[in-house]
Amino acid sequence: MHVLTKLVAGAILRGTLGGDTMQLQQLEYFVKVAELGSLNKAAEVFYVTQPALSKAIQNLEQEIGAEVLRRTNKGVSMTEDGKKLYEYAKVILSHVDLIRDIKAKDALQTLAVASYPLISMSRIIADFYNRQSDRNVTIRLKEDRLMQVIDHVYEGRDEIGFLLINNSQLREVKNTLKFKGLSLEILGHDTWYANVGEHSPLYDKELVTMEELIQYPIVRLHDDHYSNLTNYLRIDGILLRDSRKHIYVSDNAGLVNVMRHTDAYRFGPGLSNRDFADLGIRSIPIRNCDVDVVVGWIKKKSAALSFIGEEFVHLLEEWTEKELERK
């Protein structure tokens, strides 16, 4: 174990709220200063004076016996020991958050999830609630387009974001997540099916072609930047933007109702085949469809999942594995 690790661990184990022994707040101050590169900006975040924060950092350095920040006229930067301490401090503080979550297990908890519109998500939420019915749990689900789901997690309005990302979007989405400090955990890979209702002449087919599909209107959610990229996907030699008729709706209820009462179709993931079947909508394989759909969830890199968030992710993993096997 690195000597700095021993010093940090030992100080915290000995820790009290008084004297010159290391406090968790000192680590929180140090991490924020390191991330912002400024004592003044970090002091503003914690609503403390800059001298008070500087003193806390100095006490931290004295406790571990190493200089962790280098002060210059241009701001502050981490020393080599500071870089090591930063990594250890992030782990320690994330574990502290988890301990606090366990302590609050019986208190009122809120699960906030943003999700790409998926017909199956309401069932997942229902399953999760049934598993938590003996707890004081509030569940908040927001379904939105890909860009908005990313923004919701980035802005802290939702803890977890559930995404479906096709191969035309993947590179740009990954760049956006990196820029915003979000991590992507991939649950699996899916592909597209043609979803049609009983009013579609294609309803009884076992395989459809793009030539057949583009004769009918496509029902879809309103476009955003990432869905516009999808227009340039090519299936069996035909660009998606070559579809001649479009019906735009705002949510899953609109998608379902249009398909149930018209000859319109949509492209949907295999994950939802079972739920669409319960609504009388068929999911038909498309000839030579090589669209790859990444199924995954996102969160802030700098934040540990809450206790209830961890349990929801476990359910997502179980559900995704089961539905992908079922296709």
> What region does 224 belong to: left with phi over 0, alpha with psi -120 to 50, or beta?
beta
Residue type, 256: V
Q: Which residue has the tokens 């090589």?
A: 290
**Kind and range of the H or E run holding 47:** none
pLDDT band at 75 (very low <50, low <70, confident <90, very high): confident
What whole-number percentage of the chain has pLDDT above 70? 90
Whether the Cβ atoms of residue 251 and residue 143 lie closer than 8 Å to each other: yes
**Kind and range of the H or E run holding 234:** strand 234-235
**Backbone φ, ψ for residue 76 (5° rounding):** -125, 150
pLDDT band at 12 (very low <50, low <70, confident <90, very high): very low
- With a cut of 90, say whether residue 25 has pLDDT above it: no
| 37: its two tokens | 């590169």
Per residue in 184-239, pLDDT tens? 999 999 999 999 999 999 999 999 999 999 999 999 988 778 888 888 899 999 98
- pLDDT averaged over every residue in the chain: 87
Q: Which residue has the tokens 């492209």?
A: 267
Whether the Cβ atoms of residue 127 and residue 315 lie closer than 8 Å to each other: yes
Q: Which DSSP letter does residue 144 get?
A: -
What whole-number percentage of the chain has pLDDT above 90? 57
Angstrom distance (rounded) from CA 315 to CA 58: 45
- With a cut of 60, say whether residue 10 has pLDDT above it: no
Tell me the domains of the chain and their CATH numbers: 3-103 (1.10.10.10), 109-181+294-326 (3.40.190.10), 192-291 (3.40.190.290)
Whether the Cβ atoms of residue 12 and residue 24 lie closer than 8 Å to each other: yes
Distances (CA, A) of 51 to 47, 54, 124: 12, 5, 50
Write down the pTM of the prediction: 0.67
Strand partners, 248: 220
